Structure 1
Amino acid sequence: MDHPVATIIGFLETVHPYDTLPRDELARVATSFSRRDYGAGEEVYHAGEPLRGLYLIKRGSVEVQEPSGQVISLLGPRNSFGERGLARDGLAVTTARVTEDSVLLLLPVPEFRWLIATYPAFERFFSRGRGHDTRGGDLTTQKVGDLMARKPVIIGPQDSVRLAAQKMRDARVSSLGVVEDGQFLGIVTTRDMTHRVLADGLDPSTRVAEVMTPDPISLRPESLGSDILHIMLEHRIGHLPVVEGTALVGMITQTDLTRFQAVSSAQLVRDAATADSVAEMAAVTARIPRLLLQLMGGHNAHEVVTRLITDIADTVTRRLLAMAEAQLGPAPVPYLWLACGSQGRQEQTGVSDQDNCLMIDDSATDADMAYFQALARIVSDGLDACGYVYCPGDMMATNPQWCQRVGVWRSYFRRWVQTPDPMAQMLSSVMFDLRPIGGQASLFKDLQHETLELASRNSIFVAHMISNSLKHTPPLGLLRGFATVRSGEHKNHIDMKLNGVVPVVDLGRIYALIGQLEPVNTRARLEAAEGAGVISLSGARDLIEAYDLIAQTRLENQARLVRSGRKPDNFLAPSDMSDFERSHLRDAFVVVRTMQSAVGQSRGARS
């Protein structure tokens, strides 16, 4: 029996990446789905069989197994499966079986492949090639060092079991490493407290050494997740110390494994899209640092990691827009919410503020504008509560200057291009990074084409933009060293944002302006500039490789901070790198500086 189309549309609006489709396209795709009902234990398909299409779970749960019979995932509502076979020869590479009465929606093969070929969001989401987060989501191939959630909490062997219990309570952990003079001796768990202390009526002053498990089974950081699973299952234990030499460097628990398997970009997007409150969404975004750690542990490319993280911010924004409309009533006229900055470029990392604006149909009255100011406040406050803090420069839709009718925005863009003073240059940089997030995308499309053409024809404006882009320089010091922050909290660190990725972001924006290129993402801009002949083939290849190294190093450093229990930031200490890493990073900065020099010379030629 087919599902009513209206019901499918309502469901797809809560499922990523279908929630990115234009409304009319979503309605068309919804008609392609058919309903399939399965009873508990029934097989959906078997490995090696031809697939009928992509399956989407509306209700129930599905167990996916490798041909060997090993269960690799347990899927719930809004999860898709079968895409791996469709991306190859159309044959199932796994076996899928429902574990309870379930309702599945089936998207035919031709429609699935058309969506992949037409919409980048679908290609990214369902790709199984380089960089999709399912690779990082394979627990068995992850290194143990990338699975550790925090620094281990330790206690001395001569300390009392009362102190041990207090430490476990205060740190909210179920085990402690027993360490003396830096040497790992054993482990004490909540189970030990129950079975060896309370059950035997021991005094709270009893020494930890008397109840701990000495010389427990342990792993090294370079061990694999499969080692954890095998040891835990074979020995029926729930805690595994991670040891390097004689030092305890981490603790892996069954909770860590559960947390790891529950964190994926798709899961976070789903949870954000279905959240009923800002608090629920904030709980979702609080898992982003863990997702970053997981994705980097899976050796995913930086541009994929940042896009997957940005997808979460996009979903949170759209959910907040829906909540605002539910509170205020339907919008009186069409509008468009746009992101700029790192979200606009789909380059968000583990630490991001918010940069956004509102474009409103020219038919809006003054009373209508009051509605949009209220909507902007609800969304911006919600983003802040979810960790996307208010923009220090007030580049937000809550600022009346950035909550305007399309006609006002058109006059802004024209004035900035025609009068390229320092403020106009800064605002123009923001303008070229705008990306529609929610609302009527057509309000911006014509304006984007018009502004790119107008700006690229104005040689004085282009020269000013080039000059402005050269203000951010790579951190190159004398004698093959680095120019680091000179004072303050981050003294002797490299600012991997301001002096690392921003110089390349600025170059990408200039190339897009010169070539009238539409991509907003930096790496996509560099590739488009290469294809359009804006920069030479060799120059493009060198710059892309340099950017990849710089951006990847930035993310690896953020993951390292998360692993050590700290908040991710953009500051890297050269002393934390090997000579080999420092040399290659410096070479990458040299490439960026060389390309800046080339752009600067072209500016002179234009003058």
Structure 2
Amino acid sequence: MTLPDAGLTDHQRIAAASMWQTLEPETIEAMLSAGEDVRLGAGRYLFRSGDAYRKCIYIHLEGTLEQTSASGDVRTAEPGDVIGLASYLDGDNYRSTAHAVSDCRLLALPGATVQRLEQESGPFFEAINRALASRMRKARQVRETVRGTLARPVRQFMSSGLPTCGNADTVGDAARMLADREIGSLGLVDEAGRLTGMLTPTRLLMALINGEASPTDSVHAIEADNAFSVTPETPLWQVEEIQRRHRVRDVIVVDHDNVPVGLMSETGLIQALAKPPYTLDSELKTAPDVETLVTLRRKIHVAAAAVHAAHRSAGTAVRALTEMHLALQHRLVELVIASMVQDGHGRPPARFAVMVMGSGGRGEMLLRPDQDNGLIIDDRVDDAGLDWFREFSERLNPALDQVGYRLCPGDVMARNPDYRRTLGDWKDKLTNLVENPGRREARLANIMLDFTTLYGDDSLTSRLRAHLNQQLVDDRGKMLFRMMVSDDAKIAQPLSFFNRLVTTSHRGSQVIDIKRTGLRIIVDAMRVFALKESISRCKTLERLASLRRLGVFDPDFAESMRIAFEELQDLLLTHQLDQIERGETPDPLLRMERLSSHDRERLRVSLRATRRMRERLQYTFGVVMN
């Protein structure tokens, strides 16, 4: 068999392929050294659909090769294209057919080599991840919506962390940042980090066309667009008014020194105002007693099932679930305070905030959450006031247990003095956590550091969050982050070396704990990355979006994690709703015999994506994973 000489080396063919364009020359040489030359005569098949995976990928080098998908689509491979990548990602049989139209030459790269290069080369890792993201996009498209109200402060909805450019950046740098991160605007800042204007793709393009600046000029050579800004406490309705009156899409959120801390986009506003269908909010807010709340608590799953059925979106259903859980707990706090007054203890003697932590703090409560809460008390409280809050907490936690929220096994509850503190004592606790993290404290940090206000003075919670962010700047949280990541390293994922599902036995079924081995890995990873970047939002997908905007994750990696998170969330919620229909107590253990082949594939691909998140954690924090 002879092949025409196209005048290019194999190195050049690979380097020119769109998938591999960012690779370092030494990585391409490593691929060529480890690979085996494969020659395929015209009319021969490289593999057929259903053939066993050969534990390698093929890189097309020369000749005409056609690949036919399971749906019948035919694609002609270009030099440098990867053949059989889906089977490498999934460890499963080939699902397409590869056929040589003319004599072909390919490079067979062992799967073990691919895995090694993923660990050693960041560009190689990202190239493989782009392929995974593309696969997941085709499998599922989801629409995100967020509940909200115009009266609430913008900090509850903004995207944390605004990408900015300054004196050291050129027009070309700004253009690349906008393109690479797929964002619509950049903040322009002075030497002190203060906001001076905004740059958009349109503004950069017009400056180049008009000869106002060249790609190598400083961004300050361009007359930037006006930047409309608000503070984090600005109500959402004012942001809407600014966007409508000035016809702008993005409003920048700045602190008291005019330093950008976030962004409220037009899309974000639309999402914030979107409402799910009927829930129990009105009944929960007006419940006259604890017994009524007990009854309503038993109806929450019915309302959640209605939302899920209407939208077929786990994200919408989980948000509705969380809103109902928090509305119930908020009303219970009011009833406990009323009981304190009725029993002669009087009203709260000082400003305070009841915090909800863990899944409640992230807005990701499902059907059977337990209690994770704490109490922040104003520093000016006296001893008698502290006694009032002790009594209040001793009543609150048992009342929550009575209505269906189990007592926290780790005792992360307001009745525990360690989680009932003045603001100053809370600040000291978090400072000590950052400076002297122990293994137990690091484990609890994965619950405690996702906190938000359930009831009371939200400014206390906001000040505590600001203090935490301040303690973590300049890489001072490095040891805490390593210990938080190490805690997750003990979790063995239910995937074999070749990405087949690995189950355990439980009461006659083969099961997978989807919460511990799937969702938790993404949630915990987003928490560590977000804390490292001083992102104040707690919801997992909002953290992910902020990290993408800041350039921590590229768009493909972020997209694959978003889809994986929502797929796992949907599988878990559907499973728990089915358990309730069967009269079972909801748990996170997926029964394999109850999953369709489609759902098993969703589970496997999503767990494959979470494995990549663990690998990313390992690269970033230097912790060896299971």
Band the TM-score falls in, shorter-chain normalisation: 0.5 to 0.7
Shift in CA distance, 116/305, structure 1 to aligned 2, threshold 3 Å? farther
State the distance in 2 between where 1:365 and 1:548 align: 47
Structure 1 SS opposite 2:504: coil
Identity over aligned pairs, percent: 24
Structure 2 SS opposite 1:275: coil
Residue 614 of structure 2 is matched in structure 1 by 596
State the distance in 2 between where 1:20 and 1:354 align: 28
The CA deviation string for residues 147-201 of structure 1, in whole angstroms up to 9 with x for no partner, is xxxxxxxxxxxxxxxxxxxxxxxxxxxxxxxxxxxxxxxxxxxxxxxxxxxxxxx
Whether the 8 Å CA contact 1:302–1:548 is kept in 2: the answer is: yes
Whether the 8 Å CA contact 2:488–2:521 is kept in 1: the answer is: yes
Q: Give the residue type in structure 2 aligned to 1:319.
A: R
Residue 143 of structure 1 is matched in structure 2 by none
Which one of 271, 279, 284 corresponds to residue 272 of structure 1? 284
Report the more deviating stretch, 454-463 or 428-437.
454-463
Within-5 A mapping of 1:162-241: none
Q: Give the residue type in structure 2 aligned to 1:401.
A: D
The CA deviation string for residues 26-78 of structure 1, in whole angstroms up to 9 with x for no partner, is xxxxxxxxxxxxxxxxxxxxxxxxxxxxxxxxxxxxxxxxxxxxxxxxxxxxx
Whether the 8 Å CA contact 2:371–2:408 is kept in 1: the answer is: yes
Q: CA deviation at 1:340?
A: 0.5
Whether the 8 Å CA contact 2:513–2:590 is kept in 1: the answer is: yes
Residue 528 of structure 2 is matched in structure 1 by 510
State the distance in 2 between where 1:115 and 1:574 align: 52
In the alignment of these two chains, the number of paired residues is 369
Within-5 A mapping of 1:345-360: 345-360=362-377
Whether the 8 Å CA contact 1:485–1:492 is kept in 2: the answer is: yes
Residue 276 of structure 2 is matched in structure 1 by 133
Residue 551 of structure 1 is matched in structure 2 by 569
Shift in CA distance, 384/572, structure 1 to aligned 2, threshold 3 Å? same
State the distance in 1 between where 2:239 and 2:555 align: 35
1:407 aligns with 2:407: no
Whether the 8 Å CA contact 1:337–1:437 is kept in 2: the answer is: yes
The CA RMSD over aligned residues, in Å, is 3.0
Whether the 8 Å CA contact 2:486–2:623 is kept in 1: the answer is: no
Structure 2 SS opposite 1:414: helix
Whether the 8 Å CA contact 1:514–1:534 is kept in 2: the answer is: no
State the distance in 2 between where 1:395 and 1:380 align: 10
Q: CA deviation at 1:372?
A: 0.7
Q: CA deviation at 1:17?
A: 7.0
Residue 327 of structure 1 is matched in structure 2 by 339
1:311 aligns with 2:323: yes
1:537 aligns with 2:555: yes
Q: Give the residue type in structure 1 aligned to 2:412.
A: M
Residue 284 of structure 1 is matched in structure 2 by 296
Residue 102 of structure 2 is matched in structure 1 by none
State the distance in 1 between where 2:420 and 2:150 align: 24
Q: CA deviation at 1:566?
A: 3.0
Shift in CA distance, 381/18, structure 1 to aligned 2, threshold 3 Å? farther
Which one of 463, 471, 476 corresponds to residue 495 of structure 2? 476
Shift in CA distance, 593/408, structure 1 to aligned 2, threshold 3 Å? same
Structure 2 SS opposite 1:298: helix
If asked which structure has higher relative contact order (CA below 8 Å, sep 6+), I would say 2
The CA deviation string for residues 479-501 of structure 1, in whole angstroms up to 9 with x for no partner, is 54323234x54752111211121
Whether the 8 Å CA contact 1:341–1:434 is kept in 2: the answer is: yes
Q: CA deviation at 1:469?
A: 3.4
Structure 2 SS opposite 1:358: strand
Which one of 415, 423, 431 corresponds to residue 440 of structure 2? 423
Shift in CA distance, 541/111, structure 1 to aligned 2, threshold 3 Å? closer
State the distance in 2 between where 1:437 and 1:331 align: 16
Q: Give the residue type in structure 1 aligned to 2:584.
A: R
State the distance in 1 between where 2:481 and 2:444 align: 14
Structure 2 SS opposite 1:506: helix
Shift in CA distance, 280/444, structure 1 to aligned 2, threshold 3 Å? same
Q: CA deviation at 1:366?
A: 2.0
The CA deviation string for residues 546-583 of structure 1, in whole angstroms up to 9 with x for no partner, is 11111111111112223333333211112222223212
Q: Give the residue type in structure 2 aligned to 1:133.
A: P
The CA deviation string for residues 2-31 of structure 1, in whole angstroms up to 9 with x for no partner, is xxxxxxxxxxxxxx9779858xxxxxxxxx
Whether the 8 Å CA contact 1:356–1:396 is kept in 2: the answer is: yes
Residue 574 of structure 1 is matched in structure 2 by 592
State the distance in 2 between where 1:376 and 1:124 align: 35
State the distance in 2 between where 1:386 and 1:462 align: 35
Structure 2 SS opposite 1:559: helix
Q: CA deviation at 1:359?
A: 0.6
Q: Give the residue type in structure 2 aligned to 1:508.
A: M
Residue 67 of structure 1 is matched in structure 2 by none
Residue 301 of structure 1 is matched in structure 2 by 313
Shift in CA distance, 541/318, structure 1 to aligned 2, threshold 3 Å? same
Report the more deviating stretch, 384-393 or 337-346.
384-393
Whether the 8 Å CA contact 2:149–2:272 is kept in 1: the answer is: no
Q: Give the residue type in structure 2 aligned to 1:286.
A: R
Shift in CA distance, 122/281, structure 1 to aligned 2, threshold 3 Å? farther
Shift in CA distance, 558/125, structure 1 to aligned 2, threshold 3 Å? farther
Shift in CA distance, 276/573, structure 1 to aligned 2, threshold 3 Å? same
The CA deviation string for residues 86-111 of structure 1, in whole angstroms up to 9 with x for no partner, is xxxxxxxxxxxxxxxxxxxxxxxx88
Residue 173 of structure 1 is matched in structure 2 by none
State the distance in 2 between where 1:536 and 1:417 align: 28
Shift in CA distance, 594/362, structure 1 to aligned 2, threshold 3 Å? same
Q: CA deviation at 1:462?
A: 2.5
Q: CA deviation at 1:605?
A: 9.4
State the distance in 2 between where 1:449 and 1:542 align: 30
Q: CA deviation at 1:539?
A: 1.1
Give the alignment's TM-score, normalised by structure 2. 0.55
Q: CA deviation at 1:125?
A: 8.0
Whether the 8 Å CA contact 2:494–2:502 is kept in 1: the answer is: yes
Residue 51 of structure 1 is matched in structure 2 by none
Residue 337 of structure 1 is matched in structure 2 by 354
